[in-house]
Amino acid sequence: MSPDTTSTQAGAAPSDIRIDRLSPDALVASFAQSHLLKWFLAALAAHAVVIGGFSIGNIRDMLDPEAAAARKAAAVAAAKAPPAAAATATETSAPPSPQADATKPAEGSASQATGKTPIEKATSEVAKPEEIPAVPDDLGLSIEDTNPN
In degrees and rounded to multiples of 5, residue 58 shows phi and psi of: -65, -40
Q: What is the DSSP letter of 73?
A: H
Entry pTM: 0.32
**pLDDT tens figures, 75-84:** 898 888 776 5
Q: Which DSSP letter does residue 105 get?
A: P
Structural domain including 38 reads 15-92
55 assigned to some structural domain: yes
Give the pLDDT band (50/70/90) at residue 119: confident
* 16 Cβ contact list (under 8 Å, min separation 6): 7
- The reply to whether 135 falls in a domain is no
Q: Shortest CA distance to 9 belongs to which of 25, 31, 26, 24? A: 26
19 in a structural domain: yes
Q: Is residue 133 part of a domain?
A: no
The answer to whether residue 127 is domain-embedded is no
What does the pLDDT look like over 133-146, one tens digit per residue?
A: 777 666 666 667 77
Radius of gyration in angstroms for the set of CA atoms belonging to the chain, rounded to a whole number: 37
Q: How many domains does the chain have?
A: 1
Is residue 121 in some structural domain?
no
Q: At what angle do helices 65-80 and 56-63 cross, to 10 degrees?
A: 120
Q: Is residue 110 part of a domain?
A: no
